[in-house]
Chain A
Amino acid sequence: MAVTSTADAIPGVPTTAKVAAQSTHTNKRAVENQTGRVIRGSLCVPERVKQSDSPPRLTEATGNPTFDSLIMAAIEVRDLKKSYGSLVAVDGISFQVERGECFGLLGPNGAGKSTTIHCVVGALRPDSGEVRLDGEADPTRPSVRAKIGVAPQPIALYEDLTAEENLEFFGKLYSLGGKVLQTRIEMALESSGLAARRKDRVSTYSGGMQRRLNLVCGILHDPPVILLDEPTVGVDPQSRNLIFDSIEALKRLGRTIVYTTHYMEEAQRLCDRVAIIDQGKILALDTVEGLLRAHGGPPTVQVEFARKPAGLEDLGGEWEENRLRVRTERPMEVLGRVAGMGDAFQHVSIERADLEAVFLHLTGKKLRD
């Protein structure tokens, strides 16, 4: 199936420049907060990582955008293919993620989201295709990896270590040390709500606590590009909200985020653009609004009557006992007819199409099938 997009697939330079400039601005704002003040419920990392052996392309020492950063996407993927034997996991995927953008990969389990992420970060070698991270063709180079933060789908933590020890270990791998590391650890523990349990082994944590720690371990070094692979799987609502808050804070700081999920609500809430992926292919790629417009179909009016009335047959729709569901471009007309029935109805609602409907429309199946 061809990729369908209702917006510019490759935004022009001015748009990118604007994003980059915004990103720089928010970074400066973050630096002002580096004394350690934590924005509750979010991860606010105070300063840029300086450990990479080549400076990030995003900004020069002056904090101004470089020419390269104005024209290059943070991530470029072209015709990516990856198979495991006869199983084609990724089948010619292409997309770009702009700087400061939150990009969603939405699809059911086994759609190829994690494989795509692993190819992007260089954990898997693609069969063919090209991946560029910050303009670099080899994501396995340490200088490139220093700019990437990953929260893998499995809870990738050492259970026999405490939260503090896990953070310290991963921080040291990114050449953090001394006061900078300690400050980052404090902030990460605060923002993930784990400060009180910092000395407890991870094996004693709930699933939600482990998920929160899994996330902050991936972004402790304040990378400009963050890849979050299903970061909310199996967590309680409280932890999920905390994770959402953290991601929204990262967005405000101008970080580039790739977010994979099979929860359409998350993609709808967090992502600027969403690629709908199934069986290794991108079926559609656009902003949430664009996708809804193009593939969501009309809103659905749902009316529940005390008993099935006569005289509404011409509205069409589906009856299920006393309940009527009508998909229509003119929901107010339907509501007007229903209102004319007096008090015969008990409940009325208008449901706007969501990404679930988009997925259903594109694949003929539900996201969680």
Chain B
Amino acid sequence: MKAILTIALKDLRILARDKAGFFWVLGFPFLMALFFGAIASGGSGNRAAMRIAVVDQDRGPYARAFLTELQKSEALQVREAPLDSARQLVRRGQLVAYVALWPGVGESFGFGGDSAKIELGLDPSRRAEAGYLRGLVTAATFSTMRGQFTAGGGGREMIHQSLASILSDPTRSSDERRRAAGVLSNLERFMTSLDSETVGAKTGAASTGTAGGPKIKVVDIAEEENGPRNAYEITFPSSVMWAMIGVCMSFAISIVHERIRGTFLRLRLAPISRSQVLAGKGLAAFLAALGATTFLLLFAAVVFHVRISNPPALVVALVAAAFCFTGVMMLISVFGRTHSAVAGAGWAVLLVMSMTGGGMIPLIAMPAWMQSVSNFSLVKWGVLAVEGAIWRGFSPQEMALPVGILLAAGVVGFAVGARALSRSEG
């Protein structure tokens, strides 16, 4: 073990002094995270605003309130437009989507209204954002409804109107009228009680409170809880993979360098086993990967408030990813006998893995076919494991798949690479 540590510490010392290697291990991933994070968040530190148009054909107070709710979202850049113009802009790709509010949409915020009064028109090429946008629209809908119920008895007025409408409806039987009146009366009593008690965090809204009522606690809505809170929660997991790739390439090339320089021969002639030599190299790569990624994520957490929702899972994810790329490093180191051969082949493989695995384009923004292809990329499983621990809220069972794949790939890579290295060394 002492020999393994001696070799590992030597390699880490050399890496720390190798400015180019250090850049690829830490500098480049850091710049990638900052660059793409800044682009995606428009420089404000938040998700890049999606540009949408709202077509208000209702012009009622509820529709205006809904529009106001949408405009409050930092994730959206909202403008009003006529229907034809909005459709045209989406078709040209200048807008992600339009939200059309048909006449009578106000009734859909009450009872008995038609829920299909809102139309979401999406650019087909932006389906990746569809779920997120739908969530924001739904959130605005509920926020508007909540506003109506809690804003100074507006909800009770809506109940009165509905009750009067039902009682005067000649198509309903007296029995139906009696039952509806009973339900709505009970609901009115419940609304009255709400006016005098704390509404509670679960129904908290973006609004600051109700007129004359208790203060309402402002909480993030559900869609935000389950997704990345800001762009850096997407770019830093990707940068973690870039750091792994940087470590992988630096150490693969260092093995070739040692073989060419003759220091690898010296190591092999020392009174230690070949497996100790390889374990030493592997340990150095593993520690470098863990160190670089830990630094990146700590920086992200402190400076960009990236949540680490499950620290133990994150440790598992990072260990698995570092182990995986240590194995890949060993495999890549035998791709050739010269620096250029190993660097060329290594970067080719790892860049494809990164492109298809979420190192450049976030996984959540990939079209379906690319997500299928990404299953063959170890970068994808690394990103998934890290995101699972950061913001995806993966359960242990959900973590098992990416972590298992990473560990298996690491074992295979190390075994095949070590064997090939031993054979090529005669």
Contacts and interface: CB of A to CB of B under 8 A. Distances in A.
Interface in A81-137: 118, 121-125
Given A154-B262, A155-B262, A173-B6, A160 B18 contact: yes
Interface string A225-263: 000000000000000000000000000000000000000
Given A118-B265, A173-B3, A218-B266, 11 more contacts: A123-B268, A125-B426, A142-B272, A157-B263, A159-B261, A161-B14, A169-B6, A170-B270, A173-B271, A174-B271, A217-B266
Contacts of A218: 266
Given A161-B10, A169-B6, A173-B3, A156 B272 contact: no
A156 B270 contact: no
A123 B264 CA distance: 10
Contacts of B10: 158, 161, 169
Contacts of B263: 156-158
| Prevailing SS type, chain A contact patch | loop
B375 interface: no
Nearest to A177: B2
A173 B272 contact: yes
A27 B115 CA distance: 99
Contacts of B261: 154-157, 159
A123 B269 contact: yes
Interface in B121-159: none
A123 B3 contact: no
Interface string A146-180: 10101011111111110001000110111100000
14 contacts: A123-B265, A123-B269, A146-B271, A150-B265, A150-B266, A155-B261, A156-B261, A158-B10, A160-B13, A160-B17, A169-B10, A172-B3, A173-B7, A201-B17
A145 interface: yes
B271 A152 contact: no
A183 interface: no
A322 interface: no
Nearest to B14: A160
A238 B308 CA distance: 62
A125 B274 CA distance: 14
A124 B425 CA distance: 7
Interface in B236-271: 260-263, 265-271
Nearest to B266: A156
Given A154-B262, A161-B13, A121 B6 contact: no
B273 interface: yes
Nearest to B267: A173
Interface string B177-189: 0000000000000
Interface residues of B, number: 24
B262 A172 contact: no
Most chain B CB neighbours (cut-off 10 Å) among A124, A148, A156, A165: A156
Interface residues of A, number: 34
Given A156-B261, A158-B14, A158-B263, A145 B271 contact: yes
B262 A153 contact: yes
Nearest to B10: A169
B266 A172 contact: no
Nearest to A157: B263
A6 interface: no
Contacts of A52: 271
Nearest to B16: A160
Contacts of A174: 270-271
Interface in A15-60: 51-52
Contacts of A201: 17
B271 A156 contact: no
A268 interface: no
Given A123-B269, A173-B267, A156 B262 contact: yes
Given A124-B426, A125-B426, A156-B263, A145 B270 contact: yes
Contacts of B6: 169, 172-173
A169 B261 CA distance: 16
A143 B2 CA distance: 17
Nearest to A115: B426
A201 to B, nearest CB: 8
A185 B267 CA distance: 18
Nearest to B21: A160
Most chain A CB neighbours (cut-off 10 Å) among B6, B18, B270: B270
A123 B426 contact: yes
Given A165-B13, A172-B6, A173-B3, A152 B265 contact: yes
A188 to B, nearest CB: 15
B14 A148 contact: no
A157 B272 CA distance: 18
Most chain A CB neighbours (cut-off 10 Å) among B2, B18, B273, B426: B426
B9 to A, nearest CB: 9
A175 B262 contact: no
A145 B267 CA distance: 11
B91 to A, nearest CB: 58
B271 A175 contact: yes
B341 to A, nearest CB: 18
B202 to A, nearest CB: 59
A125 B260 CA distance: 19
A143 B271 contact: yes
B81 to A, nearest CB: 61
Contacts of B272: 142, 173
Contacts of A173: 3, 6-7, 267, 270-272
A218 B270 CA distance: 10
Contact of A150 (B17, B18, B269): B269
A145 to B, nearest CB: 4
B258 to A, nearest CB: 9
A313 to B, nearest CB: 57
Contacts of A150: 265-266, 269
Contact of A142 (B17, B18, B262, B273): B273
B92 to A, nearest CB: 55
